[in-house]
């Protein structure tokens, strides 16, 4: 079997351009060197307890997004996390070799605790056990498929570090059983600024959604925060939020022209925002068309995810059997 690259994405709604450059694009590119396994992390979504219909809708959104943005199910394995019945057992076994202190330091749990302490509440107020054990489930996702590499954003580096710690703890306890994976972080694109200059994130409400209606997408782009300099004044492209988004879409020749306009003066922010809107719409035109065709074809998406799950389980079953044998659950 060729080396395996694994990518999972939590269904949280319409992906934005930061998701695309930070995760979708580099993850899909790895299929040139690896057997790519991609999954919709619907079990992870339960930590935020969405409504049943909301969760189902989000699952279809992320599935259609992957396919529209270039994932080829004929050259990869694409599935729904909850269809892999080996995952819960693997998660429990791994939790038994995971120090609680390691989970105490996980970013998501620590952030929730810190927020409660700041507001004078009990540290674990409104924190469910799923959030606390989230890193163990993530480790099971990675280790159960003998993953060689896991492409992640810079802010997700800790997830790989925890997974490696868990795998190494297991191997020290039961003998070399699990493959210890490597994280792959894109050095070129690690974080895309949002329209307000902070990291682009749904939690900040500063995203540019790829599959939003055209009017909404244009409106978001026109809201990109810039300084108050006039078109005639020179500007610094390196500190301009608009330019830092624009540079990911413009052709090299045009980018060089705009860069020089920043330095020399003569560039109007409004005109560049309009150009950026046209450029983004053209860049994602085919993806937006495909997404529109697939998003309501639930039967097609269910069938495709089901076929992928069977392929993924073919990889997972022997790994779980090896884990069970190592810990003494089978002879």
Domain boundaries along the sequence of the chain: 4-191+296-327, 212-283
pLDDT at residue 11, rounded to an integer: 93
Q: Using one digit for the tens of pLDDT, what is the confidence trace for 237-290? A: 999 999 999 999 999 999 999 999 999 999 999 999 999 999 999 999 999 999
Percent of the chain past pLDDT 90, that is, above it, reads: 85
pLDDT at residue 190, rounded to an integer: 53
Tell me: pLDDT of 151 over 90: no
Is the pTM higher than 0.85? The answer reads: yes
pLDDT at residue 286, rounded to an integer: 98
Q: Using one digit for the tens of pLDDT, what is the confidence trace for 69-90? A: 999 999 999 999 999 999 999 9
Closest by Cα among 48, 44, 49 to 62:
44
8: which 2 tokens? 């999972």
- CA-CA-CA-CA torsion sign (268, 270, 273, 278): negative
Is the domain covering 212-283 a CATH 1.10.240.10 domain?
yes
27: which 2 tokens? 């993850």
Tell me whether domains 4-191+296-327 and 212-283 share a fold: no
Is the domain covering 4-191+296-327 a CATH 3.40.50.620 domain?
yes
Per-residue pLDDT, averaged over 187-210, amounts to 85
Per-residue pLDDT, averaged over 132-161, amounts to 90
User: What does the alpha-carbon distance between residue 280 and residue 282 come to, in Å, rounded to a whole number?
Assistant: 5
């Amino acid at each position: 079997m060729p080396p395996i690259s694994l990518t999972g994405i939590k269904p949280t709604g319409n992906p934005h351009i930061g998701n695309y450059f930070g995760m979708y694009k580099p993850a899909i590119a790895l299929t040139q060197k690896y057997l790519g396994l991609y999954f919709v992390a619907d079990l992870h979504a339960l930590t935020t307890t969405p409504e049943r219909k909301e969760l189902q809708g989000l699952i279809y959104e992320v599935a259609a997004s992957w396919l529209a943005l270039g994932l080829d199910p004929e050259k990869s394995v694409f599935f729904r996390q909850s269809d892999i019945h080996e995952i819960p057992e693997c998660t429990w076994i791994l939790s038994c070799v995971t120090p609680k202190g390691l989970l105490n330091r996980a970013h998501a749990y620590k952030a929730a605790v810190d927020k409660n302490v700041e507001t004078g509440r009990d540290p674990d107020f409104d924190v469910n056990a799923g959030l606390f054990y989230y890193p163990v489930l993530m480790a099971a996702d990675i280790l159960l498929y003998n993953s060689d590499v896991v492409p992640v954003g810079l802010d997700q580096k800790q997830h790989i570090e925890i997974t490696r710690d868990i795998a190494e703890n297991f191997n020290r306890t039961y003998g070399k059983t699990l493959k210890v994976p490597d994280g792959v972080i894109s050095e070129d694109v690690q974080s895309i600024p949002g329209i307000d200059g902070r990291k682009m994130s749904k939690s900040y409400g500063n995203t540019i959604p790829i599959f939003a209606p055209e009017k909404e997408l244009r409106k978001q782009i026109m809201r990109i925060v810039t300084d108050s300099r006039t078109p005639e004044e020179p500007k610094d492209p390196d500190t301009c939020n608009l330019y830092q988004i624009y540079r990911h879409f413009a052709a090299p020749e045009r980018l060089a022209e705009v860069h020089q306009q920043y330095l020399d003066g003569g560039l109007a922010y409004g005109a560049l925002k309009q150009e950026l809107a046209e450029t983004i719409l053209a860049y994602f035109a085919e993806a937006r068309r495909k997404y529109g065709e697939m998003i309501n074809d639930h039967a097609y998406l269910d069938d495709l995810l089901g076929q992928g799950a069977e392929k993924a389980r073919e990889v997972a079953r022997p790994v779980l059997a090896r884990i069970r044998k190592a810990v003494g659950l089978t002879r």
